[in-house]
Structure 1
Amino acid sequence: MTTHLNIGGTWKDVTETKVNVGGSWKTVESISINVGGTWKVVTGLSVTVTPDPAEATAGGGFVSVEVEAVISGGSGSYTYLWDVLTGGAAFTGGGVNNPSTLREFLTSGSTSEGTAQVTVTDTVTGETAIASFSYSLTAT
C-alpha cells in the first residue's frame, strides 16, 4: 500500500507505513477516516480526464466540449479547478464544476487547439491529483 503523507507542506509517497503497538512494529494495511459518521478506507488519489483528447465541431460562434474528471481513491469529497494551459479556450462557471465545459468563440473555418488540466483536491485529506489533456475546437 502506498500512503501519501503531508510532511512540512509537501506530499510524499510512503511505500510502507508502520506503527508501534505495545512495543512491536506492525505494518499498516489500510487507513480509514470518518466522513459524516461513515468510516471510509482512504486510498491514494488519482484522476484522469474524459474525453482525451476533447474535440468538438460546430458552426461559427461558441464551440463547446464537456470534460469530466474521473477520480480514483481519496475520501469521496473533492474540489475541482480546471485551467487552460495553452490555447484560447476558457472554462465556463469559473472552472470549479465537474463535469465542466470548455468553450471558445470561433469564426467559421477556424480551429483552436491547446492543453488544459484539472486539479482535484480531497477536501478531507488535502491530497491533490492533476491530469492534463489536449483539446481541439473547430468552427465549420
Structure 2
Amino acid sequence: MCLEENTKIFMADGSHKPIKEIRIGDMVMSDSGESKIVRNVWQGREEHMMCIELKNGSKVTLTENHPIKTVSGMKKAKEIDENDEILIVYGDKFKIASISCIEYNGRVYNLDISGNFMMAEGIAVGDFEAQNKI
C-alpha cells in the first residue's frame, strides 16, 4: 500500500521531501501539475518491496499493490512489465529498464491527496484513495 520511507515526493513549492517527513496540511504536486493538500499520512511495515527502474534512471521502491500511472492507464506495481511506458513528471514517459522484488523489512508510507497521483522520484504514483480504487 505504500512507498519506501525515503522516497522523494515532489512538493508544491518545487522542492523534494522524503515521504516520511510529509505531514497533514503539506502541499504536494500532483501529476497534473496542481497543488494538492495532504489530508492524511498512512504508515506501516513491509518485508518485501518492488523496485521499478526506468530507462531514464528514475527508480521507485513500492509495495506490489501500489498504483503507477502508465500510458495505458493505472496499474498495480505487480502488473507492470517491461513493455509498459510509465508516466513521469511533466507528462513525459519512459520504458522500464528493470523490475525486481527486494527484501525490505522497514517502514512504508502513503499519502491521501483526494484520489490523485503524486510524483514519487519523478514517477506518477497513486495516493491512498487511488490505490483503493484498483
TM-score, length of structure 1 as denominator length:
0.25
Structure with the greater alpha carbon radius of gyration? 1
**Greater fraction of residues in strand:** 1
Choose between structure 1 and 2 for higher RCO, CA contacts under 8 A separated by at least 6 residues: 2
**Greater fraction of residues in helix:** 2
TM-score, length of structure 2 as denominator length:
0.25
